């Protein structure tokens, strides 16, 4: 079975008709079923999909509000399509529940690769080959990572992470204190054929740090990557 069969139905939320037509044609050629919504209201009324490609610049409401509402309804992979390059917008989008973002202009090949990578995370209940003991709970000081249920707790309080954020945290937790390069992270958490910007790792790390309440949980090693360790 080809990789593109992981996602059957995509909801494309894009108000620019020319962009929407081009994306729908390309995605359908790649084997996806695509539904188009030109407004936020139409997106919220649309049939449930396996993945949502969400433009932030909608005519009737802020795309980030659409993201928040869709996320509150259930477990659907959300990729934001945005012309905004500011890190604040990217991190805010991830905190609201988006699993990834693509900054315009982007290639169809890159978009499809991201859809497949994000969707594989939702199709599996545990990140493949990432846990030494998938049935157990890993404890790092006050931090608990349960790979079986995909839940994280800090000081006994649950921390709500997106699917990609959980996979990233679980990957760093395989060997606490060890440095994971951005390339290793992208290949294991995103996709072995990932060719997008490595800054997507930094944006997800920033979102996780904020949710954990202390940036010291994930330490940046300049020019190399990141490591997970209990703050001193």
Which string of DSSP letters, residue by residue, matches 157-217? EEE---HHHHHHHHHHTTSTT--EEHHHHIIIII-TT--S-THHHHHHHHHHHHHHT-GGG
For residue 33, what is the enclosing H or E element?
strand 33-37
List the one residue out of 30, 60, 65 whose CA is nearest residue 42: 60
Q: Which residue is it, tokens 């020319």? A: 18
pTM equals 0.58
CA distances from 11 to 54, 84, 170, 221 (A): 8, 21, 29, 38
Render each residue's pLDDT in the chain as its tens digit; 232 residues: 343 344 469 999 999 999 999 999 999 998 889 999 999 999 999 998 989 999 988 999 988 899 989 988 877 889 988 776 666 666 777 777 788 888 888 888 888 888 877 776 665 533 433 334 444 688 999 999 988 788 899 999 999 998 889 989 999 998 888 898 888 888 788 765 555 556 788 889 999 999 999 889 999 998 889 999 998 7
- Residue 15 and residue 34: Cα distance in Å, rounded? 15
CATH of domain 3-123: 3.40.50.2300
Pick 137-228's CATH classification: 3.40.50.300, 3.50.50.60, 1.25.40.10, 1.10.10.10: 1.10.10.10
* DSSP characters over 99-156: SEEEESS--HHHHHHHHHHHHHHHH-SS-TTT-SSTTSEEEETTEEEETTTTEEEETT
Residue ranges of the domains in the chain?
A: 3-123, 137-228
């Amino acid at each position: 079975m080809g990789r593109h069969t992981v996602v059957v139905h995509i909801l494309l939320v894009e108000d620019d008709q020319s962009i929407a037509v081009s994306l729908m044609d390309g995605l359908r050629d790649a084997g996806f079923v695509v539904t188009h919504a030109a407004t936020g209201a139409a997106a919220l009324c649309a049939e449930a999909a396996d993945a949502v490609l969400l433009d932030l610049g909608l005519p009737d409401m802020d795309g980030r509000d659409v993201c928040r509402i869709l996320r509150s309804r259930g477990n659907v992979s959300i990729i934001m399509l945005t012309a905004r390059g500011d890190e604040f917008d990217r991190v805010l989008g991830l905190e609201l529940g988006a699993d990834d973002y693509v900054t315009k202009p982007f290639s169809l090949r890159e978009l499809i690769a991201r859809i497949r990578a994000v969707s594989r995370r939702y199709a599996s209940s545990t990140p493949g080959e990432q846990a030494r003991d998938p049935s157990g709970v890993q404890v790092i000081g006050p931090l608990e990572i349960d790979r079986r249920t995909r839940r994280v707790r800090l000081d006994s309080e649950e921390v709500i992470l997106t699917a990609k954020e959980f996979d990233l945290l679980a990957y760093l937790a395989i060997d606490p204190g060890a440095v994971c390069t951005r390339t290793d992270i992208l290949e294991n958490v995103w996709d072995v054929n990932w060719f997008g910007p490595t800054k997507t790792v930094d944006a997800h790390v920033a979102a996780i740090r904020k949710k954990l309440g202390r940036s010291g949980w994930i330490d940046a090693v300049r020019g190399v990557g990141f490591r997970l360790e209990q703050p001193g």
